[in-house]
Structure 1
């Protein structure tokens, strides 16, 4: 099972740690693309029009100016750097396997060492253009979204699952649970694919609460995965054929009142919040 997350705007800036090493990040096939974005961001951060390009306010301009030294800024595991609403609810820690999509790095794992930064996927950088378009192209070339894409072995590809395959309630090891917000949905998962939206009691989409519940669901799925792996002592977690199927629907229902609509191999979960 793959869990896809967005980054968070809220970040904790590491006080100490090693400098950024692009080649040390997971998915090293993205190194050149990451270097191009990094260099463009460093250049923009020193410009007079940086705030306009990066779409930030005056309050965070000290952080933008600091990005001129991004190569030498201290790094920490991504799960410690990202501290927004979703990540607070997800309570990620070492050993949690997720894929975090971002405008700066494309995709990292929770344990990759990164600095704090200011760069949204909705940005268009000089020399790069739209980051959405850039990363959609680069990730597609690298094979992301295919049925067998995992971090520890780099990116590998496998044939997409036959759309005629019968949908099971429990997930197969190549299932994707997509918790990304719209700006970061730059790849399309193959195989079984679950997503989550949150509505208020009047049926209106909510965004802040959606981040919270996506974080809660991420934590619940990771806990279910850890429990399943305990049934295979001594077996490496990256051997996917030994991963027990996770009942995503059951996990979703633990959050509250949900409806699930199955569209072929895609499963759309809607969580309806009750009036307090």
Structure 2
């Protein structure tokens, strides 16, 4: 089973690993595209105003540009520890048991504007690049990744659970049998509506449950059983579509 997570705008500082080494990352067929983006990002960082404009930042966020300037030289850390924010707070990788962490490393991967997709343990630096950005020397990030990333992800074997957000889903279509999960709640009229505020938190909880389970689900029905056993309300709404029903 592979669970595809969205990235986060925020990243943890520092790291104990050496500088970025593309050869140390999973999905090596993506490395030429990764190198092109990293070079473009570092080059753009030499012009702070241009970086702020291209990345959609404010003047107060100029420090993010400094991160990009050091993308090839700064320290790295595993992807699951690099990404922060609501989803990753709910995932809470630091509290995993050793056995749970080993499973998380095998089962979780993160979609990335800079790296396409990275496995949980891939050592990456801090950087700032969003899925909706466009770089002067590359064009749109989505356009850069779609023809390269799509065939790679469609070759992933086993059950794939897609927790990506809309922006990152546009990077690549998955196989038709990939399972999508929609987080919903019921309003006062009993109608199910998409959750926005707590969407990331619930996806983080779901990712944790899927990472820690002793089961090895290979079908949608088995996946539903794992989620229900974790105490979450889940319903199948299509052959490969689930709704995670939250409390209002």
**Structures share a fold, TM > 0.5?**
yes
Aligned to 1:28: 28
RMSD: 2.0
Residue number in structure 2 paired with 1:272: 245
Q: Distance in 2 between matches of 1:259 and 1:45?
A: 46
Count matched residues: 230
What's 1:168 paired with? Answer: none
Aligned to 2:175: 190
Change over 3 Å in CA distance of 1:15–1:189 after alignment to 2: closer
**Is the 2:19–2:72 contact (alpha carbons within 8 Å) kept by the matching residues of 1?**
yes
More relative contact order, 1 or 2 (CA 8 Å, 6+ apart): 2
8 Å contact 2:150–2:172 — kept in the other structure?
A: yes
Post-superposition CA distance 1:248-268 (Å, at most 9, x none) = 1123334544332124xx22x
Aligned to 2:227: 252
Residues 88-118 of structure 1, C-alpha deviations (whole Å, 9 max, x = no match): 2223364222221100001111101101111
Alignment partner, residue 127 of structure 1 = 137
Superposition TM-score, scaled by structure 1 size: 0.76
| Structure 2: unaligned runs, 5 residues or longer | none
Gaps of 5+ in 1: 149-173, 229-242
| Aligned position for 2:184 | 199
Moved more, 112-121 or 88-97: 88-97
2:237 to 261, 266, 269: 261
Shift of 1:49: 2.1
Worse-matched range after superposition: 60-69 or 248-257:
248-257
1:23-71 Cα distance to aligned partner (Å, 9 max, x none): 2211111111101000111122222221121012233211212321211
State the 1:191 CA deviation: 5.2
Matches of 2:35 and 2:117, distance apart in 1:
13
Tell me how far 1:199 sits from its aligned partner.
2.5
Aligned mate of 2:114, from 83, 104, 120: 104
Most deviating of 115-124 and 191-200: 191-200
Q: Partners in 2 of 1:220 and 1:37 — Cα distance?
A: 33
SS at match of 1:127: coil
* TM-superposition CA deviations, 1:117-156 (whole Å, max 9, x none): 1100111111211111211111135x322252xxxxxxxx
How far apart are the structure 2 equivalents of 1:272 and 1:139?
31
Partner of 1:181: 165
Query: Normalized against structure 2, the TM-score is what?
Result: 0.84
